[in-house]
Chains A and B, each alone.
Chain A
Amino acid sequence: MTSGTLTPPRKERAAPDSPRPTRSRRKPFLAPYLFVAPFYIVFAAFGLYPLVFALQLSFTDWKGAGRANFIGLENYTYLLTSEEFWSSLGNSAVMWLLIVPLQIVGGLAAAVLLANARLRLRGMFRVAFIAPFVTPLVAMAQVWIVAFDTDYGLVNHLFNLVGLPDIDWLQSTVWAKPTLALLFLWKTTGFAIIILLAGLQAVPGDVYEAAALDGASRKRQFWSLTLPLVRRSIAFLVVVQTLAVFQMFAEPFVVTQGGPYGSTTTGGLYLYNHILASDLGTGAANSFLLVLLVFALSLLSVRLLRSRDE
């Protein structure tokens, strides 16, 4: 398309003797402020104000009605010594371990296969992997309820066909977390694959040619070239998914309601339980603790991924 024809000039340049030369010189003063103002208005009303309010609230014993009494750090000390709070973080941490390493390794493997320029049906594979990412989570959570039912579900049906016994997927404290983790993995791994694929394709081909000429094996090329070059994509994914896993809410809310015996009460769901119980002061404190933790984890993972670079 571009070959052969010269690209036409993008625009008519103004004649030097333009009748209104001053207009182009005039510095617009108000316009940029007007253009950015809507965001700051919406943010002030529905971001900053609630944030300040939440911070205040976290130092009170407010139950959603009546008087709010200032109780200092009591909500924070209560949470930090409460077994339920730590178990919600523990549940989220287990989910994290079940999800993030597998997703990064599996996603990278799939992305490396997809990055091969000689692969046929590439577009089809890409569409298949990303399809779960666009489906509504609530809808798929419902499907999980039916598919992982102990007595009549699809998964145990398949297990029985190959001679395996039934598993209490959603009623057992051992299996409920992996079942929800699987839902999360199914839903978001396509996203990871696309991000990693983009990272891989940003690597210029001649780098590999040069390495091959120097006699580097394909294994060696992967460890010394590919991996360092997609490190930024990996770091991005780790941060985004850490945020998502610790805030995970809809999966346990719809599929298990946090059970059995609180084994799938994630950080996000525990927070919601404060709302249900109208224990809003504690809830506000909980959200700040959760945010601090997620920030710390994100920073830590970025640092770890970076320091290996040097």
Chain B
Amino acid sequence: MTSLMTSRTEKPGRSLSQPRPGPLQYLVLGLLALVFVYPIWWAVSSSLKPPTDIVRDPLSFSLGSATLDNYRAMFDDVPIGTGFVNTVLVVAVKGAMTMFFCPLAGYAFAKYRFPGKNLLFGVLMLTLMLPTLVLVIPLLLEMSQLGWVNTYQALILPGSIDAFSIFWMRQTIAAVPDELLDAGRVDGASEFGIFARIVVPVIRPGIAALGVLTAMNIYNDFVWPVVAVNDESHQTLQVVLSTLAQNVTGNRVGADFATVWGELLAAGSIAMLPVLALFVLLQRHFINGILAGSVKG
């Protein structure tokens, strides 16, 4: 019994009976980590080089020759500022909808008994298995029927309240003790008041992880925005980027090849920056968010 107790208090996973990792293991992990991080470093550092150097010597990097020319050229060529503003708007509104409605629905599924609950929950779980691809064409047609092509609502509304986030929030809220909720009821709180003033504060870490992962997914989203929007003024950042890339591969001509590559790397780097910064600051929430994703299997 005591041995069982002590093993529980140790770090999760295997106990200290494991061998200490040797230099070989560190070497393997270190090389692997390098492979994973190097492309990011290479892209960012190359974006700061004079364009001709990217072509002439892709490996070199010296702080002395660092320049923002690529960024200036990119800002001149593509509406990346507009892309950023649009992306921020979509992330903010769509993210806020997810973070408000999904915990609310998760709360209802976790803590209420009501007629039709099983049926409704079954439908919710079925929609989890619906690949986005099957919806792209009819959704596009629906948008054109509504006159919503090239609008913010087309970018924001589809998928704004998603089944997976509800399911995840239901799991999180199920762990909140019922006595807490009853206490709120005794104090005369309304049903929504119980959610807002008791449930939300208790599950704040879960909501934070949901927010981080949702923001990342919306920021990186590409398939739907590229289909739903074709005018420059509503393009999200990822769509602006892909337009730039297509221009490059579309006309592979020698003269300003290096310049365009500089622009490509600058665009890629500037798009990575916010999400990488967010990741470094909030990596614990990121990883929690990903782990929550594995629950659905």
A residues adjacent to B (C-beta < 8 A): 10-14, 18, 20, 23-24, 28-29, 31-33, 35-36, 38-40, 42-43, 45-47, 49-51, 53-54, 57, 64, 110, 113-119, 124-143, 145-147, 152-154, 157-158, 186, 189-191, 194-195, 198-206, 208-209, 212, 232-233, 235-236, 239-240, 243, 247, 249-250, 253-257, 268, 271-272, 274-275, 280, 283-284, 287-288, 290-291, 294-295
B29 at interface, CB cutoff 8 A: yes
Partner among A47, A136, A272 whose Cβ is within 8 Å of the Cβ of B127: A47
What residues on B are CB-neighbors of A31 within 8 Å? 108, 112, 191-192
* Complexed CA–CA distance, A146 and B55 (Å): 9
Judging by beta carbons under 8 Å apart, are B105 and A38 in contact? yes
Distance (whole angstroms) from the CB of A195 to the closest CB of chain B: 5
Partner among B7, B59, B267, B296 whose Cβ is within 8 Å of the Cβ of A204: B7
Distance (whole angstroms) from the CB of B144 to the closest CB of chain A: 9
* Complexed CA–CA distance, A10 and B130 (Å): 41
Judging by beta carbons under 8 Å apart, are A142 and B14 in contact? no
Judging by beta carbons under 8 Å apart, are B42 and A147 in contact? yes
Judging by beta carbons under 8 Å apart, are A20 and B188 in contact? yes
B200 at interface, CB cutoff 8 A: no
Distance (whole angstroms) from the CB of B164 to the closest CB of chain A: 11
Q: How many A-B residue pairs have CB under 8 A?
A: 341
What residues on B are CB-neighbors of A152 within 8 Å? 54-56, 58, 257-258, 261
Distance (whole angstroms) from the CB of B253 to the closest CB of chain A: 13
B222 at interface, CB cutoff 8 A: yes
Proximity bits, B7-25, A CB within 8 Å = 1, else 0: 1001111111111110001
Kindly report which residue of chain A lies nearest to residue B262, judged by CB atoms: A146
In the complex, the 8 A-B pairs of residues with the closest C-beta atoms, listed nearest first: A236-B297, A50-B138, A205-B15, A31-B191, A139-B268, A128-B33, A35-B108, A32-B112
* Complexed CA–CA distance, A42 and B163 (Å): 11
B residues adjacent to A (C-beta < 8 A): 3-4, 7, 10-21, 25, 28-29, 32-37, 39-40, 42-43, 46, 54-59, 101-102, 104-105, 107-109, 112, 114, 117, 120, 123-124, 127, 129-142, 157-161, 163, 166, 177, 179-180, 182-183, 185-188, 191-192, 195, 216, 219-220, 222-223, 226-227, 237-238, 241-242, 244-246, 248-249, 257-258, 261, 264-265, 267-269, 271-272, 275-276, 278-280, 283, 286-287, 290-291, 293-294, 296-297
Judging by beta carbons under 8 Å apart, are A205 and B220 in contact? no
Kindly report which residue of chain A lies nearest to residue B263, judged by CB atoms: A142
Judging by beta carbons under 8 Å apart, are A201 and B12 in contact? yes
Judging by beta carbons under 8 Å apart, are A125 and B15 in contact? no
* Complexed CA–CA distance, A12 and B186 (Å): 11
Judging by beta carbons under 8 Å apart, are A209 and B183 in contact? no
A sample of 8 more A-B contacts (CB under 8 A), given A11-B183, A205-B7, A271-B133, is A11-B180, A28-B112, A38-B161, A139-B269, A146-B46, A204-B7, A275-B136, A290-B134
* Complexed CA–CA distance, A133 and B16 (Å): 31
* Complexed CA–CA distance, A208 and B114 (Å): 45
* Complexed CA–CA distance, A51 and B135 (Å): 6
Judging by beta carbons under 8 Å apart, are B42 and A143 in contact? yes
Distance (whole angstroms) from the CB of B63 to the closest CB of chain A: 19
Q: What would 14 A/B residue contacts be, using CB atoms closer than 8 Å?
A: A39-B163, A113-B21, A113-B25, A129-B32, A132-B40, A137-B222, A138-B222, A142-B265, A145-B248, A152-B261, A205-B15, A205-B17, A208-B18, A247-B133
Distance (whole angstroms) from the CB of A79 to the closest CB of chain B: 14
* Complexed CA–CA distance, A40 and B182 (Å): 28
Contacts A29-B114, A38-B161, A283-B137; A143 near B16 (Cβ below 8 A): no
Judging by beta carbons under 8 Å apart, are A157 and B58 in contact? yes
Kindly report which residue of chain A lies nearest to residue B284, judged by CB atoms: A123
Judging by beta carbons under 8 Å apart, are B294 and A284 in contact? no
* Complexed CA–CA distance, A154 and B55 (Å): 9
Contacts A126-B287, A200-B13, A201-B13; A287 near B136 (Cβ below 8 A): yes
What residues on B are CB-neighbors of A147 within 8 Å? 39, 42, 58
Judging by beta carbons under 8 Å apart, are B245 and A145 in contact? yes
Contacts A10-B177, A204-B7, A206-B3; A136 near B131 (Cβ below 8 A): no
Judging by beta carbons under 8 Å apart, are A136 and B112 in contact? no
What residues on A are CB-neighbors of B28 within 8 Å? 113
* Complexed CA–CA distance, A190 and B56 (Å): 32
Partner among B105, B109, B290 whose Cβ is within 8 Å of the Cβ of A130: B290
Distance (whole angstroms) from the CB of A149 to the closest CB of chain B: 8
Distance (whole angstroms) from the CB of A28 to the closest CB of chain B: 5
Judging by beta carbons under 8 Å apart, are A142 and B245 in contact? yes
Judging by beta carbons under 8 Å apart, are A128 and B36 in contact? yes
Kindly report which residue of chain A lies nearest to residue B189, judged by CB atoms: A23
Judging by beta carbons under 8 Å apart, are A136 and B220 in contact? yes
Kindly report which residue of chain B lies nearest to residue A295, judged by CB atoms: B129
* Complexed CA–CA distance, A190 and B39 (Å): 14
Distance (whole angstroms) from the CB of B37 to the closest CB of chain A: 5
Partner among A18, A138, A145 whose Cβ is within 8 Å of the Cβ of B271: A138
Kindly report which residue of chain B lies nearest to residue A47, judged by CB atoms: B127
Distance (whole angstroms) from the CB of B259 to the closest CB of chain A: 12
Kindly report which residue of chain A lies nearest to residue B240, judged by CB atoms: A138
Partner among A51, A117, A139, A275 whose Cβ is within 8 Å of the Cβ of B18: A117
Partner among A12, A13, A138, A233 whose Cβ is within 8 Å of the Cβ of B242: A138
* Complexed CA–CA distance, A139 and B54 (Å): 17
* Complexed CA–CA distance, A43 and B163 (Å): 9
Contacts A42-B160, A53-B138, A249-B223; A143 near B183 (Cβ below 8 A): no
What residues on A are CB-neighbors of B157 within 8 Å? 42, 45-46
